[in-house]
Chains A and B, each alone.
Chain A
C-alpha cells in the first residue's frame, strides 16, 4: 500500500484523477457568471452584475409554476414510492425464497429500462386511464421510477437488522403486524428516509416521462428548463442552474455528514 501510494506511477494517476474531477465539475460553474449577466441573452457579465434573472425565476408565472408543480409531484411520488418500496423490501427480506429474487428483479426494473420506452407505454395507457396532464398521472409515473431506489436502500438497512428482535416480539405475544411495527420500522427509518430522498430527487429531475405525460396544466421545472434551452437559451436557466447546484451541494454534504453519523452510531455502543 505505502509502496503503491509513494510511487511515481500513482502520483501520475492521481494527477489525472484530479484533472478528471476538474472536467466533471468546472464546466458546470459557467452557470454562475451567466446567471448574473444584466443582458437578456446568454452572455458573461462585463463589469455590471444583475440579479434580474433570479428575480425572473421567483416572479415569473411560468418558473413559479414549474417550481410549485415539481415540488408537488416529487413529494407525492416520493411518498408513494416510500410506501410501496418499504413494503416490498420488508416482504422480500422475510421471504428470501427463489420467487422473492424474481420479485426483487421485477421491482428494480424501472431503474434500468430506458426512459423513452416506458414513456411511450405510459403515454398510451395514461390516455386510457384519463391521467394525461394530471398531477396524479405524473405522480404515479414518477413513483414507479422511485420504487427501486427505496427497495434498495431499505434492503441495505434490513441486511444489518437482527431478525431475532422481531422473533422476540412475536414470542412475547405481539401479532405479526404489531411486531413489525414495533421492531422493524424504528430500525429501518434511515433507509426509508434515504430511499425517499432518492425518489424525490429522481422525480424532481425527471424530464422524458414528463414530456410525454404532461402538456400545460402540469408543467414541472425540468420542462421549463427544457423549453428555456430549446426556444431561446435564456439566462434564467443559468439562475435556476445555480440554485439547483447549490441544493445538490447541500444535499450531498448532508448525506456525507449523515453517513458519518450513522457509521459512528454503528461502531459505538449499541
Chain B
C-alpha cells in the first residue's frame, strides 16, 4: 500500500476502512479457494498417511513395490524425453517467430495459438485416426508398398511421446517467445560486427540471454508432462502406464486410496519443489504478466 498518495490527516479513519475493504477483496477469493481447493489438496495429503493405517507405509510402498517403481520409471523417462524434444523444437520455433518478418510473424503465431487451444481430446483422437493399425498412415504406406505389415505407432511409448510433444510445443513456445522479445535485437549484430560467426553469435550471446526463458519453459513443460493423464491413457494403450493414469486406476479399480494419494502427494511435492527453484530464477509477477 503506497501511503504517500493518500489524502491528508482527516481522512485517517477512512483509510483504515479502505484498507479493510482491500484486504477483504484480496482474501475472500482465498477463503473460497481454501474451502474448495486447498482443503481437497490437504485431504489428499492426509489420506496418504492415514489409509489403510496411520503412518508412512504408503510412501514406503512406493519404493518397494516393483509395479509402482516401473510406473515411476516409465513416467520419468517419458517425461524427460518428451520435455527435451518439446523444448528443443519449441526453442527453434520461438526463435524463428521472433526473428521472422512481421508479416509472417502473425501467421506463425496464429498457428501456435490454434494448436495451443485445440482440445486435448480432439488432438488425441486425430492421432489415433492417423496412426492406428488401420489408420491413414499405415494404409497409405501399405498402398504405396513401403511396408507389408502395419507399423505399431500408438499403444506404446512412442505414441505417448508423440502426443505429449505435440501438446507441449506451444507451451514451450509461448514463454520462450515472451523472453526472447525482451532481448535487445542489436546484441547479435554487434557480436557479428566484432567478428563472431553466425553460430558463435547465437551460442555466446543470444543463448545465454535467453537462458532464463529456457529454464522457466523447461520447468513449466516438465511440470505439465508429469501430470499427463489423457494422452498416455489413450495413446499408451495400457502398455506404458504413467503415474496419473496409475493413480486413477488405483483409486477407481482397486480402491487403493492410500497408495493413490501417496503417489499424488509425491507428485504435488515434486511440482512445488520445482516451482520453488523456478521462483528463484524468475519473478512470478513477471512470468505471469503482472509486472
Real complex partners, A and B? yes
Residues of A within 8 A of B (CB): 1-5, 7, 9-10, 13-14, 16-18, 20-21, 23-25, 27-28, 30-31, 34, 42, 44, 84-85, 87-88, 90-92, 94-97, 100-101, 103-110, 112-118, 120-125, 140-141, 144, 147, 152-153, 155-156, 158-159, 163-164, 167, 170-171, 175-177, 201, 205, 207-208, 211, 222, 225-226, 229-230, 233, 237-238, 240-241, 244-245, 248-249, 251-253, 255-256
B92 A16 Cβ-Cβ under 8 A:
yes
Q: Which of B109-152 contact A (CB under 8 A)?
A: 109-115, 117-130, 136
Known A124-B43, A140-B36; 4 more pairs at CB < 8 Å:
A28-B118, A42-B129, A108-B284, A124-B47
In the assembly, what is the distance between CA of A28 and CA of B124, in Å?
Answer: 9
Q: Which residues of A contact B234 (CB under 8 A)?
A: 229-230
A23-B88 Cα distance, complex, nearest whole Å: 14
Question: Which residues does chain A contribute within 8 Å of B42, judged by CB atoms?
Answer: 121
Inter-chain CA distance A251–B106, complex, in Å, is: 15
Indicate whether B277 reaches chain A with its CB closer than 8 angstroms. no
Give the interface of B toward A (CB within 8 A).
Answer: 1-2, 5-7, 14, 17-18, 21-30, 32-33, 36-44, 47, 89, 92-93, 95-97, 99-101, 106, 108-115, 117-130, 136, 166, 169-170, 185-186, 188-189, 192, 198-199, 223, 226-227, 229-230, 234, 244, 247-248, 251, 260-261, 264-265, 267-268, 271, 275, 284-285, 288-291
**Residue in contact with B120 in the complex, picked from A24, A117, A207, A240, CB distance below 8 Å:** A207
Q: A16-B92, A92-B26 are in contact. Are A256 and B130 (CB under 8 A)?
A: no
**From DSSP, what is the main secondary structure of chain B's interface residues?**
helix
A-B contact pairs, 25 of them (CB 8 A): A1-B99, A1-B189, A4-B198, A13-B92, A17-B92, A30-B136, A31-B122, A90-B22, A103-B27, A106-B30, A107-B33, A117-B44, A117-B264, A121-B43, A125-B36, A125-B40, A144-B32, A144-B33, A156-B290, A176-B17, A229-B125, A237-B122, A245-B122, A248-B119, A251-B117
B289 A155 Cβ-Cβ under 8 A? yes
